[in-house]
Each structure stands twice: as structure tokens, then as C-alpha cells.
Amino acid sequence: MFCCPACHARYAWGYLSHQCQACGGPLDFALERVAFPLQAIRARVPEFWRYAEALPVFEQPVTLGESLTPLAPCSIGTTQVLLKCEYSLPTGSYKDRGSALLISYLHALGVQEAVEDSSGNAGASLAAYAARAGLRLKVFCPASASPGKLLQIRLYGAELVPVEGPRPKATEALLEYVARTRAVYASHLWHPLFIEGVKTLAFEIAEQLGWSLPGAVLCPVGAGSILLGLHKGFGELCQVGVLPRLPRLVAVQARHVSPLYQAFVRGDQEVARALDPQPTLAEGIALPVPVRGRALLKAIRESGGAVVAVSEEEIAAGVKQFGQAGFCVEPTSAVVWAGVERLAQQGQLPARGPVVAVLSGHGLKAAQAMSQLVG
Ligand SMILES: [Zn+2]
């Protein structure tokens, strides 16, 4: 069920390490078969667990009532876009899809205690689901992360470990702790069950479009779990014949930390670490190198997609533009505004099918940064 794409080692259900024992790489997860009984799905509770035949089975899934998120129309310039409002999930970000699956898995295996590193949203989300499951969680975060996200982590009862310095310092501190204590690393960056949960985003978009294909889907990309989730979810819908092909998957990065963009324009197969990352408003995607770089490049190219990088000015403008359109999103999510504009300027909008942009997190999570932008 768990398979290493690099060395092809396989691991059974119940495997607890976040990486391949043989080569240290990240693992993939696959169910033996998936199915989409469309009529039956329509009659089920409007939450992502309705895609039960395409998800692992848990006797006691850990849930906070993850209702389907809205797909709301909005004009970006002259482009009509459908916004997938992931901030309406229980902790205010798309991460709840992955956390629900990952914590359900750890809970089913009887894990009592786990650790995680995060720029804020994943830590807050995992903390909420850990609270629901009665699991103790320790979260390593940059001390500079948005206070709202750090507050959420503490509110849900997780132990917050603030780490000075940029985002990678939190990972270093966590890995040192894991090596010393052998704690279970509930990593949203590494664990394939996190992506397994995020793939439901693709199922929802397809169902909300009457089981038809969007022309393109744009999302913010740091580690790339949204994009990889979309690729997996739409891929499974193609595999069983519900959709004819993948939509174009478009990754949007902050220019200040844009290793995927650099690799994509160079035509590379791997993503090299960003040489000189600069501070960015988009804290949720300020990752100098993604864990699954090769898979991201492959997914984007296979879908006929693209990568765009946007400036800090464009991110700030995006926050305001979304606000004026009635959407309160954090700067990390607002990158998609300029992403859509860039595709339109370059004549790269799809000829057919709606353009969907993923709004990953609520603006009030980053209230401090937002107040500086809005004035
Ligand atoms: Zn391996």
C-alpha cells in the first residue's frame, strides 16, 4: 500500500515511518482499487468522506465535520474564475483534508504521541485533529509565523515549540528531536496519507462541475501538497473513466522563494534548493526546496500545466483585490490572483472549461500581516 517511487520498496498498512527505510525518500500511497458510484455519492452527507470507495477505510475516522467547500464565481480582470474556498474547512485551511486522513491513520494504529513541523497552518490543522483523537502533538514552528496560527495550535492543546530563524530551522530542530526520541513524525510534507486526503479536493471540484473537467486549476505551491493532491485525485477520476483527462495544473509561487519555477523554466527533472530565498508575505509557501520536487514537475508537465512566480507587490495587491471582491484570504492564498492575470497576459488560459483557483487559507489567520497591507 505504501511504495517508494525511487527504489520500489513496499510497506504494508501500519507502516509508521515518514520515509522509505531503504533509501530515505518520500513514499507514495495507493489503494488497490478506487470507484466513484456517482448516484450513491450524491445521496451521501455533503463532506469529503462521501468519496468512501476512493479512500482508506477507518473504523473510527477522526472528523470535525468537513463540509464540502464552496466553488464561488469571481472576476479576475476579464477572466471569469471559480474560487474553491478551502478556508471554510474547520481550522480555516485546506490542510484539514490531509490532517483528517493522517490523524485517522495514526489513531487507528494506537499512536498516542506525535510531532510535526509547520509554517503554521498544517500545525494548527493537525493540532485540531489530534485534539479530537486524544493524541498528544508537539509542533515545531518558526517563531515568526503568524500569531493567529500559533494561537490556534495552543488553543487545540498541542505543545508549540517556536524556533528562531527561517522555516527550514523548524524542520532541523524537529529532525534532531525525532533522532533523539524516536517520536512519530506526523509530517504533512512527507506522509503520503496527507496527500491522500488532499486528493478529495479534486473529487469535490469535479462533482461541483457536474462531474466534468475544469480547464485549469491554479494553486499556491510551496511543498506542493495541493497540486499533488489535485494530480492524484483527477488522475483517479481519469483512471475509472469519470473524466477524459487531467485539467491543466498551474503552480503559483512567490518569486522570492521559487525553486519549482526555476526548475520548470530550465526544463529540469529535479528541483534544486533555492539559492537565495528572500522573505515573502506568502509564509505558507516559503519553502526553499520541496520534498517531492520530481513528482511536482512530472505532475505539472503531464497535465500540460505551468508554473508562475509572482512578486511581493502582486501578492499584496491580490490580498486587496480579493477583499474588494468579498473574499478574506491570507497572502499565501492571494498569489493566485496574479497567477490568473499572468496566464491571461501570456494567452495561456485554457480554450475550454472553467478556470478554478484554490483559496487555501483564511485571511484572519494572518491578521497582523494583513493589517499592514490593508492599512
Ligand atoms: Zn526507497
**Distance between Cα 225 and ligand 1 center (Å):** 20
- Determine contact, residues 237/203, Cβ cutoff 8 Å: yes
What strand order describes the sheet that includes 79-85?
71-76, 79-85, 355-359, 216-220, 248-254, 306-310
- Residues 6 or more apart whose CB falls under 8 angstroms from that of 252 comprise 218, 219, 220, 221, 307, 308, 309, 310, 335, 336, 338, 339
**Distance between Cα 27 and ligand 1 center (Å):** 7
CA distances from 48 to 41, 196, 200 (A): 10, 12, 6
**Distance between Cα 9 and ligand 1 center (Å):** 5
pLDDT digits (tens, 9 = 90+) for 342-364: 999 999 999 899 999 999 999 99
- Residues 6 or more apart whose CB falls under 8 angstroms from that of 80 comprise 73, 74, 354, 355
Residue 167 has pLDDT above 90, yes or no: no
**Distance between Cα 184 and ligand 1 center (Å):** 19
Domain boundaries, the chain: 1-30, 71-93+193-374, 95-190
**Distance between Cα 270 and ligand 1 center (Å):** 17
**Distance between Cα 20 and ligand 1 center (Å):** 5
CATH of 95-190, one of 2.40.50.140, 3.40.50.1100, 2.60.40.3500, 3.60.20.10: 3.40.50.1100
pLDDT, position 166 = 87
CA distances from 319 to 32, 287, 337, 369 (A): 42, 20, 8, 10
C-alpha cell at 82: 471559480
Angle between helices 121-133 and 147-155 (to 10 degrees): 10
Phi, psi of 362 (to 5 degrees): -70, 145
Phi, psi of 107 (to 5 degrees): -65, -45
- H helix runs in the chain, sequence order: 38-42, 95-108, 121-133, 147-155, 167-181, 192-198, 200-208, 225-239, 259-266, 293-302, 312-324, 331-345, 367-374
**Distance between Cα 223 and ligand 1 center (Å):** 19
pLDDT above 90 as % of the chain: 96
- Residues 6 or more apart whose CB falls under 8 angstroms from that of 245 comprise 213, 238
* Average pLDDT over every residue of 2-12: 97
**Distance between Cα 26 and ligand 1 center (Å):** 7
C-alpha cell at 176: 534532531
- Determine contact, residues 288/277, Cβ cutoff 8 Å: yes
**Distance between Cα 201 and ligand 1 center (Å):** 28
- Band (pLDDT 50/70/90 cuts) for residue 119 is confident
Q: What is the SS3 assignment for 337?
A: helix
Amino acid of residue 162: P
pLDDT above 70 as % of the chain: 100
**Distance between Cα 24 and ligand 1 center (Å):** 6
- Band (pLDDT 50/70/90 cuts) for residue 129 is very high
* Nearest one of 129, 116, 175, 167 to 146, comparing CA atoms: 167
pLDDT digits (tens, 9 = 90+) for 265-285: 999 999 999 988 999 999 999
**Distance between Cα 3 and ligand 1 center (Å):** 8
Q: Do domains 71-93+193-374 and 95-190 have the same CATH topology?
A: yes
Mean pLDDT value across the chain: 96
* Nearest one of 188, 246, 221, 193 to 357, comparing CA atoms: 221
User: How far is Cα 96 from Cα 111, in angstroms, rounded to an integer?
Assistant: 19
CATH architecture of 71-93+193-374: 3-Layer(aba) Sandwich (3.40)
**Distance between Cα 22 and ligand 1 center (Å):** 5
pLDDT digits (tens, 9 = 90+) for 194-229: 999 999 999 999 999 999 999 999 999 999 999 999
Residue 311 has pLDDT above 90, yes or no: yes
pLDDT digits (tens, 9 = 90+) for 177-196: 999 999 999 999 999 999 99
pLDDT digits (tens, 9 = 90+) for 148-163: 999 999 999 999 999 9
pLDDT, position 375 = 83
